Amino acid sequence: MVTSHWTAAPAPASLRRRGAVLERAILDAALDQLSTVGWNGLTMEGVAAGAQTGKAAVYRRWPSKEDLVADALQAGLPPIEEAPDLGSVREDLLELCRRTREGMFSRPGFALRAVIHECDPAQAERFHGVIFEGVVEPTIKLLREVVTRGIERGEVRPDAANGYVLDAIPAMMMYRSKLCASEWDDRDLEEMIDQLMLPLLRSAKG
């Protein structure tokens, strides 16, 4: 009698994932969906397919699309680095703007903009905390450091580290990205710094 050595093939590794590994795959798939098909095109089924798991595994962890996207954005946003210190407020602002541009056009950046641009006001309310704590607050903090250092060097007027001035760069970059489809090349960044920010910041002596 011939004994068969055949055994059932093991289940694909993707089907055996559990816990944090599976959750990371689902969050990554959600970011991929947001950055390619946008908020309106994202579906829980599409995320499950991208993560190579079942739809039930997604719904067990995130009962709604809003819950899933909020966690995906929070997990995907890059950590905030230290403010640049290149010797002048102009060069510091330019470098900070370049980093902001890289973030805006990264996968998490595309995902975030899809949410901001496509959600209706009621849906967007769900993401205000994520956006403020993960993007707005850290950016303003770095801008404040750059401007404060410029004040200490005498390049910037003493009262320039205020909310209106610090809002100017993120507001302008988001506005032109959304309404003008600007990709913020180096020339655009230089013009914004030279024509908008430096006149706002310049000391009475400068």
Residue 4 included in any domain: no
The predicted structure's pLDDT at residue 2: 42
The predicted structure's pLDDT at residue 203: 56
Residue 138 included in any domain: yes
Are residues 127 and 171 located together in one domain of the fold? yes
The predicted structure's pLDDT at residue 184: 92
d(CA 26, CA 137): 27
pTM metric for this prediction: 0.77
Are residues 177 and 95 located together in one domain of the fold? yes
* Segments of the chain scoring below 70 in pLDDT: 1-18, 203-206
**Dihedral, CA atoms, 160, 165, 166, 169, nearest 10 degrees?**
-130
d(CA 66, CA 82): 31
CA end-to-end span of the chain, whole Å? Answer: 97
Cβ 108 vs Cβ 28: under 8 Å: no
Residue 5 included in any domain: no
Q: Which domain holds residue 176?
A: 89-201
Are residues 45 and 116 located together in one domain of the fold? no
